[in-house]
Amino acid sequence: MKAFVVEKYGKDGLRAANTSQPTVGRGEVLVRVSAASINPLDKMTRNGEFKHLIKRKLPFVLGHDLAGVVTEVGADVRDFKVGDEVYARPRDLRIGTFAEFIAIDQDDVAPKPNSLTLDEAAAVPLVALAAWQILVDRANLQPGQKVLVHAGAGGLGSTVIQLAKHLGAVVATTSNTATADLVRNLGADVVVDYTKQDFTQVLSGYDLVLDSLGGQNLEKSLTVLKPHGLAIGVAGPPDAGFAKQLGAPALLGVLMTLLSRKIRKQAKALDVRYEFLFMQASGSQLRELGALYDAGVLRPVIDRTFPFEQTTEAMAYVEQGRTQAGKVVVTMKSLPDVTPSAD
């Protein structure tokens, strides 16, 4: 099958290749990929940023989320059948959505929302799961609480804004002038144009900040939190909880603690907290999120689509910062349809 594989770590390490079609385990489904989307995590994975924590054997197929059609099911699979349209973010050691086919653990898969096309659904899994795990699992967001979402027009930010509003929060976001109207339409109550304003000068007393930029932006974000408020970073630095999540050796847990020492010390001095979030695959959460898409509570934001053959160009487009809003999707329009099996 055709795929895009990481043959070596680094910016020039991704290439098109012909690889073997995966076989299906007893608890897995084989999915013919209809579309996949580009995430910052793809660049980080290609560059080897997690190679000491997530052990992958080179070469491996890249890609972290998809929508497609089930073509085969394992002997122990009961909830899916051939012909089902599904979407998923495969677990970390089973990624590989930049390919014609992928075998996925049934626990990571969910039915595609009926209201979304396959291209639209491919833009959803990773960012929707991250939004859910930030707001519901980690922050336990309550109605009336105040949330600051950085980069609100991005794939993650645009999803977090919508979900936070659904949960009853007051939402502020940072945006540039060109995307200010978009983030307002998504539900943002307060929009700070970062080209004209410093968010620390206009915001204060927030319960939660989602930071996807890291560095100085994260440090400044701590200052807009109320006492005991929480800043969640998805761009780092990682903390000991991340090492524990991956089941990494104790020594790496110590290293993660050291990497996040500065920001945690700054947070403590301000009587606030910092946590790193690395989202996890979950088919059950995708089912809940799918219902929100079908109810019109959430909608995907897509910047541009590329044909599958131009996956490396799509990666470069995202890396060069050319995305205006939302996600970039790669599609496989030319593949034949799969005939559903009889019930």
Confidence tier at 189 by pLDDT (50, 70, 90): very high
User: Which pLDDT score, from 0 to 100, does residue 79 have?
Assistant: 96
For 291-317, write each residue's pLDDT tens digit.
999 999 999 999 999 999 999 999 999
The pLDDT of 6-31, averaged and rounded, is 97
User: Which pLDDT score, from 0 to 100, does residue 337 have?
Assistant: 47
- The conformation of residue 320, written as its DSSP 8-state character, comes to T
User: Which pLDDT score, from 0 to 100, does residue 54 have?
Assistant: 86
Residue 132 and residue 253: Cα distance in Å, rounded? 25
Q: Specify the pTM.
A: 0.94
User: Which pLDDT score, from 0 to 100, does residue 253 have?
Assistant: 76
Check if the beta carbon of residue 203 is closer than 8 Å to that of residue 148. Answer: yes
Average pLDDT, the chain: 94
Check if the beta carbon of residue 186 is closer than 8 Å to that of residue 162. Answer: yes
The pLDDT of 193-202, averaged and rounded, is 97
Roughly what angle, to the nearest 10 degrees, separates helices 250-259 and 261-269? 50
Residue 258 and residue 281: Cα distance in Å, rounded? 27
3-state secondary structure of 126: helix
Residue with tokens 């076989």: 23
User: Which pLDDT score, from 0 to 100, does residue 245 have?
Assistant: 78
For 102-160, write each residue's pLDDT tens digit.
999 999 999 999 999 999 999 999 999 999 999 999 999 999 999 999 999 999 999 99
pLDDT surpasses 70 at 35: yes
Residue 70 CB-density burial (10 A; 0-12 exposed, 13-18 middle, 19+ buried): buried
For 262-286, write each residue's pLDDT tens digit.
999 999 999 999 999 999 999 999 9
Residue 151 and residue 159: Cα distance in Å, rounded? 11
Confidence tier at 68 by pLDDT (50, 70, 90): very high
- The conformation of residue 23, written as its DSSP 8-state character, comes to P
- % of the chain with per-residue pLDDT over 90: 87
The pLDDT of 25-42, averaged and rounded, is 97
Residue 25 and residue 49: Cα distance in Å, rounded? 29
The two tokens of residue 340 are 């559903």
For 199-253, write each residue's pLDDT tens digit.
999 999 999 999 999 999 999 999 999 999 999 999 989 887 887 777 777 777 7
Residue 228 CB partners (closer than 8 Å, separation 6+): 271, 272, 273
User: Which pLDDT score, from 0 to 100, does residue 251 have?
Assistant: 76
For 321-343, write each residue's pLDDT tens digit.
999 999 999 999 754 444 333 33
| Count of alpha carbons within 13 angstroms of residue 212, beta-carbon side | 24
Angle at 293 (CA atoms; ends 289, 298), nearest 5 degrees: 95
Residue with tokens 């793809």: 42
| Count of alpha carbons within 13 angstroms of residue 200, beta-carbon side | 8
The pLDDT of 59-74, averaged and rounded, is 98
Residue 339 and residue 8: Cα distance in Å, rounded? 38
Beta strand segments in 186-317, E = 190-193, 206-211, 225-233, 273-276, 302-307
Which DSSP string do the residues of 280-300 spell out, in sequence order?
Answer: ---HHHHHHHHHHHHTTS---
3-state secondary structure of 31: strand
Domains, the chain, ranges and CATH?
A: 2-123+300-331 (3.90.180.10), 126-276 (3.40.50.720)
Nearest to 88 by CA among 223, 295, 321, 289: 289
